Structure 1
């Protein structure tokens, strides 16, 4: 039997049948029976997916495509006779793998610290007596007690309920709490049965008892968690892109190696063994050994920057994935909105009042025509505020932290009324002394009203009533206007209904407030609900909603500028969903709203077509949100999905990047997500996307920078080979190692920290067909920058030889002249790379416009590579190992002046490109 049928069975059957089915009673289970069931069903806990072993996580950092390429290149280096280079390459791989492992472990520890578990204790009835137990010990058939503020520990059928309201937003995304009673009503949307409660939800008002019929992984909470755990996680776009890049570089390196192998055999007449080693050396020269650690460290820098902006990234590659995002499938409640019911308007027959502020106590006021009003300045407002505050069981405790959210003890709806009254200057505790409560007529889901009877004076009492508009207006036969009470006419009713309809069309939820004076000598304790809530005097309406977060407006605007679509996917009603979407600028008023029921009737092809247009999804179930994400991906979109409830977890797992709320999110959502917002702020996503875009742009920048040095590194063997050995190698293997793993690393990391270009959020997300190693990178690295550096460094080599008698004398293959010539070749590459790193900082705009010294990390890198080069040239022992020597003063002057013309030449190129584009 499927879950829906099981739920229907427990919801629709008489409670006696439920007891019989579960072999229990209102007195609960015996201790002995509970122990047996615990052995049978297991502990009441949500089992997490079996995590990959620490060793598996450890070794995966050493087995990526690029890592494998480096292992192989190390082997090749050793076989080609350069043991030192091979060992160095392997050490780079090991250090990079250890760093990646440490970084992701640190993120996991931070995530674990955020996660909150299900309730620790629950009150159960065992052997007819109330007893507190660990919630893990709860079993099917247990009867347990619930009060306001309790988390529900299991799926259960309600036995008794007094004004019980349950916040089910963690399951269904609905911002308004559900009323729960012992009587079955199917309700609207998922998990809406009036007499069933679900694990992981929260009782926000009233109290009651229930009998558990599902615990642990058998609950709806557990079922969704299981669905999440079964979903295989796909590789991130950056992982795929780096794999592609590795293949491209491997093909280029091997092709060049084969060409030089053939040339060595047929041009220089090398024996095959010597030619083979020479070809292997060329392969190693064209593999950018510093790329992988630079990518890793750059992404780690992105992780740290995002953490400062309240976005905790669990996996390094997720940084770049954010930058590719084309669609955000966003939950509404608690993500786009504050998850806090707030009164916006008060309407009385005489006036409409505006309630300002974000909903918190003492933040805002009640206004009429922009003039602040206190509750006692107008008789109608006075009466309405009085009813709202006194006919209310919720209290609000101010936050102990400055600027923090108050603690609400009760339902969000009643809290909004209390807060409204405080904004009007109403002191509930002081007024209750004068008008003490005599009796309460609790809210129930049938009549959808709540009333209290309070002392009015020595001879009279007052009935204060609030409730849904349609269920309260019918009980009113009088109306108060400007403090005067008269009979309610048909015109009055039509006018009030029109006002209510107008509020509903704006996505606001209205509540009617009324009262009635009765003689105090009536038998108040024996007064029935029908008698008390009859012949009421209508006072007015309050309209409320869960307001959008203040910062979400600008965040949505930025997403639209960045050509990122936002699709709202919520469990809330169609009307509320569309109202919020239009209000915050998410969609236009013409957007199509698809309900969960309508979605069930759509084929995947119809859904994919709808997803290309303006669309909002309302009243959706967990499986449907997952389906929406999957079909977005089928349309070729890179999808980020946001959410905080367990209902969001399958979609978060399926998405290219799942984003969970750190403060309000469930542990299932946070475990599943790739990124956690530690401030629950949608605007933090936009900041993270900007960082992600910058990260990808920076990876491409330092890819250009690193590949450029490979061209002049390849020139020495070319000269040696095609001269038939007459030109000694201008650059040794250890000097190549100096550039690849020494001087280039820190400046490349500086590029990884480069600030995003000013227009980065005005550009569309990159296309999947736009790869890291594209035509522009190849032209800039291998043709433009690479060729310039090759000509300059080769010229420096020959210039030193020319100063010492070449071409009259043969080129020296050893000795002081050779050492100085190779040192100048190395120095020319190092100082040309200084110009290169500055040029790579921008693609289009002038480096002077962005700020020549604005990136301090790059200048630290430049200083480091100059000092490292100086250290290699003046340190005995090191000189012999790296074939370097002390340079003349004129050599140093040449090297220090070298970057200036290279920067100016590239500035001219950018200027020409800019003007050609504008023309």
Structure 2
């Protein structure tokens, strides 16, 4: 980092640090930062800071000190695991004192208690969750969202607030001409000539599509594409003449001047700041005021105005720039801006429907930010915009009171976005942050889900992020939210299924023990039930089809436990009902059939009821096609038939007819 000693039309692209879409003109004594890019001019500067003392270095130091929090799912599963362990172990070892009172052998009771404990604990749950997240990661990768931290897949579905960049995320990060004004109706050809002649950008054809894109200065690129769209072949402008001389951008007058010769006539073409060009024009004061109102009206909509003028000259006038730029004929002006992405409007709408609040945090000015916010549907009418300067004046307590009513933060510094993330998290929200520059790294790491841009993102931003959007598109992020919600819903289905089936098993064994009945299930049978019903069907549920309607629902409360009151009631009703029904059947069979036949029947009935339960927990999508679920159920039924009818397995599992 350092201070400028001499500047010659120096412009620096600081978007990597500030997020501002246009290069910044630098004068003597201005500060410049390591890692930023010189887009125009040259200069000398005095190095004042290096390494970790630079702005980049400070960001790196702060990044290393940030501790990442556990995801909502990790917190929930940690609590669930402790509860299940205590309940399962207590229930299983309750069998030992009950059995001893009935004067049964201790060794037999210990074996039964251990088997029952295994049946009560859903040991397949960690595998199911890992595979569910892995499947979600693969699906998101196909949709241009690369997941770097697997736990972030599910967290994305719980996001309530997304702090989004403007440049490159909601916009194309490419300047375009949105509007233009002509002083006279027949001035268009001359205006287009001023756009093209002295232009430093170049047109490059994109593959075989026939489309062109401009390479070079962003403003010049926008003017070149505009001229190309209006006239088609730019050679029509340049073939009949040549540039005699040109004067580069003057940061004081904010003008660029070129001298053009065509058909033995010489012209001065000038473009730049509208207020300066009007001042130098030969228009009457009344006409100047009228044009000023026109360009100010467009500037209020966030457009950057580039005015054009020209005049004919003689050979003797070429060297004096001041004279060349006097008494110009004002041709008109164009309004350029960083246009919103085509998909941004639909993505913002989808986010609103999903109950997600999108907050724009940009380094750009407040007028541009407000204009883009309106265009993409982020806001419907004018709202207050908080700037970085205003943020600095507010304490955290003061900011907390207005933060939820503010949608746009402009002219922000990297520290501002980091501060906003901390405050939203303090208020109890699950926060997602998009970013591409080094300036975003702190906020990306602090957020519950950090989302970096793949095309324009720096390596620092990608390293700090949990997810990388390959196409830098906000709509990709919203599609990823749907995937995150689907994964959470599938994990919940798997947990409900596992706990309901395990509760029915442990309840069946406990009730039989209390009623002094023979053990309905033997240790080997219990382990087999766990193997076939806790494994494959639970995995199939974890990879269940997505329901698009999930994006119409509000994000879940991060404080809400996986086992809500409604889910506990469902698990209890299903688990205990199944156990009581099987006990009644068992008692009935013992009266008319042999003990081994009764146990065989209960063994098979329990497995088939668990398979039916796998469909029941799917709710409204019970009968929707899930190939993996149908295949796993089919395989389980086939294995169960083989075990029940084959003498070898009959002896192993102590079953028969």
How high is the TM-score relative to the length of structure 2?
Answer: 0.94
**Residue 869 to residue 439, structure 1, CA distance change in 2 (3 Å):** same
| Partner SS for 2:174 | coil
In structure 2, distance between residues paired with 1:279 and 1:882: 18
| Partner SS for 2:452 | strand
The answer on whether the counterparts of 1:641 and 1:651 sit within 8 Å (CA) in structure 2 is yes
**Residue 533 to residue 712, structure 1, CA distance change in 2 (3 Å):** same
| Partner SS for 2:266 | strand
Show the 5 A alignment for 1:807-886. 812=595, 818=596, 820-842=597-619, 845=620, 847=622, 852-875=623-646, 877-885=648-656
The answer on whether the counterparts of 1:743 and 1:864 sit within 8 Å (CA) in structure 2 is no
**Residue 551 to residue 884, structure 1, CA distance change in 2 (3 Å):** farther
Matched, 1:392 2:199: yes
**Residue 278 to residue 855, structure 1, CA distance change in 2 (3 Å):** closer
In structure 2, distance between residues paired with 1:532 and 1:390: 16
Deviation of 1:511 (Å): 1.0
- Residue 441 of structure 2: aligned partner: 649
Aligned-pair RMSD on alpha carbons? 2.4
The answer on whether the counterparts of 2:203 and 2:212 sit within 8 Å (CA) in structure 1 is no
In structure 2, distance between residues paired with 1:868 and 1:590: 66
Show the 5 A alignment for 1:463-862. 463-477=268-282, 488-519=283-314, 521-522=315-316, 524=318, 526-527=319-320, 529-724=321-516, 727-783=517-573, 785-795=574-584, 797-798=586-587, 801-804=590-593, 812=595, 818=596, 820-842=597-619, 845=620, 847=622, 852-862=623-633
**Residue 211 to residue 432, structure 1, CA distance change in 2 (3 Å):** farther
**Residue 172 to residue 513, structure 1, CA distance change in 2 (3 Å):** same
Deviation of 1:260 (Å): 4.0
**Residue 447 to residue 782, structure 1, CA distance change in 2 (3 Å):** same
- Residue 200 of structure 1: aligned partner: 35
Show the 5 A alignment for 1:236-315. 236-257=71-92, 259-265=94-100, 267-268=101-102, 279-315=113-149
The answer on whether the counterparts of 2:433 and 2:443 sit within 8 Å (CA) in structure 1 is yes
The answer on whether the counterparts of 1:743 and 1:868 sit within 8 Å (CA) in structure 2 is no
**Residue 176 to residue 232, structure 1, CA distance change in 2 (3 Å):** same
Deviation of 1:167 (Å): 2.2
The answer on whether the counterparts of 1:735 and 1:882 sit within 8 Å (CA) in structure 2 is yes
The answer on whether the counterparts of 1:448 and 1:468 sit within 8 Å (CA) in structure 2 is yes
- Name which of structure 1's ranges 242-251 and 201-210 shifts more when overlaid on structure 2: 201-210
The answer on whether the counterparts of 2:513 and 2:519 sit within 8 Å (CA) in structure 1 is no
- Residue 380 of structure 1: aligned partner: 187
The correspondence for 1:220, drawn from 29, 32, 55, is 55
In structure 2, distance between residues paired with 1:835 and 1:320: 27
- Residue 83 of structure 1: aligned partner: none
Q: How many residues align?
A: 657
Deviation of 1:212 (Å): 5.1
The answer on whether the counterparts of 1:387 and 1:465 sit within 8 Å (CA) in structure 2 is yes
In structure 1, distance between residues paired with 2:11 and 2:358: 32
Show CA shifts across 1:663-703 (max 9, x none): 11000000000001111110011111111111111111111
- Residue 12 of structure 2: aligned partner: 166
**Residue 442 to residue 773, structure 1, CA distance change in 2 (3 Å):** same
In structure 1, distance between residues paired with 2:137 and 2:208: 28
Deviation of 1:285 (Å): 2.8
- Residue 74 of structure 1: aligned partner: none
Higher relative contact order (CA 8 A, sep 6+): 2
- Residue 416 of structure 1: aligned partner: 222
Deviation of 1:603 (Å): 0.5
Deviation of 1:417 (Å): 0.3
Deviation of 1:274 (Å): 7.1
Show CA shifts across 1:577-617 (max 9, x none): 11111211112324221110110010101111121213311
How high is the TM-score relative to the length of structure 1?
Answer: 0.68
The answer on whether the counterparts of 1:719 and 1:729 sit within 8 Å (CA) in structure 2 is no
Show CA shifts across 1:344-363 (max 9, x none): 11111346xxxxxxxxxxxx
**Residue 293 to residue 829, structure 1, CA distance change in 2 (3 Å):** same
Q: Which runs of 5+ in 1 are unaligned?
A: 1-6, 16-158, 185-192, 352-378, 478-487, 805-810, 813-817, 888-919
The answer on whether the counterparts of 2:183 and 2:330 sit within 8 Å (CA) in structure 1 is no
Deviation of 1:205 (Å): 3.8
Show CA shifts across 1:403-453 (max 9, x none): 8883x4321111000000000125334533322111111013222111111
In structure 2, distance between residues paired with 1:494 and 1:381: 21
In structure 2, distance between residues paired with 1:403 and 1:315: 40
The answer on whether the counterparts of 1:205 and 1:410 sit within 8 Å (CA) in structure 2 is no
